[in-house]
Amino acid sequence: MYHYYCLNPISEVGIDAMTENYVPVSDPKKADALLVRSAGMHDMEFSPELKAIARAGAGVNNIPLERCAEEGIVVFNTPGANANGVKELVVAGMLLASRDIIGGINWVQENEEDGNIAKDTEKAKKAFAGCELEGKKLGVIGLGAIGGLVANAGIHLGMEVFGYDPYVSVDAAWRLSRNIHHAKTVDELYKNCDYITLHVPATESNRGMIDKNSLGLMKKGVVVLNFARDVLVNEEDMIDALESGQVKHYVSDFPTPVIAGVKGAIVIPHLGASTAESEDNCARMAVRELMDYLEYGNIKNSVNYPDCDMGMPGDNKRIVLLHYNKPNMLGQFTKILADDNMNIADLSNKSKGAYAYTMIDIDSDIPANVERDLRNIKGVLKVRVLN
Ligand SMILES: NC(=O)C1=CN([C@@H]2O[C@H](COP(=O)(O)OP(=O)(O)OC[C@H]3O[C@@H](n4cnc5c(N)ncnc54)[C@H](O)[C@@H]3O)[C@@H](O)[C@H]2O)C=CC1
Ligand SMILES: O=C(O)CCC(=O)C(=O)O
């Protein structure tokens, strides 16, 4: 029996995919697994019971990844599951920034009682006119799941697209249209583009990447779109750029007290992934990842431990160990098993940075003393015996 707790509402599609072995609890401290969307977890304390956290979404800046790794808690996300939802809102953002659709709709609402509204429209509408996207230059920073879709959508809209991502994965690169220009430096993209859209994670090194220096390199009247995270943009510098006309519009999916209501800022209440399809996709993927880990120890799409998959254990017993990535860990594990005359049927050991994961299938039962001895090895963070 596994206990889970949802820190945010998670689509029923995911919850329904759980078997009767999964029971919701009303206290997160009693949970084997937590499901989360954007809830901040940095101040949460985790109980020793907690084995895994699944972020039904992409960004994991709300989760203390390093502390979780130290406590043997595997954190998953759902790469790509909400990418189409965000892409579509980015296209909407570019359109909102190009024509004064919002101003026009407001005008209609303000004049709803005007009996001559149809006639007056034809006089008033020039105040809300704009430009088309076709033929404009779009710069996409970050060409992963979302950026790749946005870049390809830009090509379909007839835009000239520049992409910048020095760390792009081979799979993501294969998905890009060959008509996209490969920007060798981000400055090249800043200098050339009419629309610049951010699709990078909110890592320490990416914080504040859009500031007065980068804004100063951009074309006057540029549109900047941020559907990634607020902290990527220095909002004070952005306000100066909006006031001076350097930036025509800043489209952001992240309201903050600083940017909400600023003239020229088009701020959306974090709706990028708020579609039925994205929510279902994320919930389904998050639950699948949790179940595979809790029941079989398989790790797929973890952000703090390596992926490692040995399928189902069949008739064997499986023991999984979360530990530091340092010499002689495997040697110590196998010695303890050999000293107890246990036969290893299968073994996998993978590492990611400072952390590692070992799965061992044994063709006999695993006695409590073996589990205890493994747990006592210096550098072992968590041990689970799965039946
Ligand atoms: N508004 C919303 O509702 C949503 C926002 N997001 C945000 O969007 C971000 C991106 O999401 P995905 O595309 O799914 O992630 P992803 O991991 O598939 O792609 C991120 C890409 O950024 C690249 N990258 C990292 N630092 C870079 C830099 N300094 N310059 C250029 N490229 C860089 C990486 O190489 C990677 O290819 C997430 O981390 C999250 O913060 C994600 C989903 C929904
Ligand atoms: O769950 C949400 O609505 C937020 C999505 C998001 O920002 C993400 O996946 O990074």
What are the residue ranges spanned by the domains of the chain? 1-82+276-305, 84-98+131-267, 308-382
List the one residue out of 210, 211, 197, 206 whose CA is nearest residue 253: 197
Pocket of ligand 1 from Cβ distances under 6 Å: 57-59, 79, 82-83, 86, 141-147, 164-165, 167-168, 172, 199-202, 206, 227-229, 253, 270, 272-273
Give the pLDDT score at 387.
Answer: 73
The model's confidence at residue 309, banded by pLDDT at 50, 70 and 90, is very high
Give 253 Cα–ligand 1 centroid separation in angstroms: 14
Instruction: Decide if 1-82+276-305 and 84-98+131-267 have a common fold.
Output: yes
Inform me whether the pLDDT recorded for 64 exceeds 80.
yes
Q: 83-95, pLDDT tens digit by residue?
A: 999 999 999 999 9
Name the average pLDDT for the chain.
98
Give 38 Cα–ligand 1 centroid separation in angstroms: 15
Give 281 Cα–ligand 2 centroid separation in angstroms: 12
CATH number of 84-98+131-267: 3.40.50.720
Q: Does 1-82+276-305 carry CATH code 3.30.230.10?
A: no
Give 275 Cα–ligand 2 centroid separation in angstroms: 11
Inform me whether the pLDDT recorded for 333 exceeds 90.
yes
Inform me whether the pLDDT recorded for 265 exceeds 90.
yes
Pocket of ligand 2 from Cβ distances under 6 Å: 37-38, 57-59, 82, 273-274
Give 198 Cα–ligand 1 centroid separation in angstroms: 8
Which ligand is the nearest neighbour of the Cα of 229?
Answer: 1
Nearest C-alpha to atom 3 of ligand 1 is from which residue? 272
Inform me whether the pLDDT recorded for 207 exceeds 90.
yes
Give 230 Cα–ligand 1 centroid separation in angstroms: 13
Q: What ipTM does the predicted assembly reach? A: 0.99
Which of 76, 77, 82, 230 best tests ligand 2's pocket when mutated (most atoms within 8 Å of CB)? 82
CATH topology of domain 308-382: Alpha-Beta Plaits (3.30.70)
The model's confidence at residue 256, banded by pLDDT at 50, 70 and 90, is very high
- Ligand 2 atom nearest 59 alpha carbon: 10
* Residue 163: Cβ within 10 Å count: 26
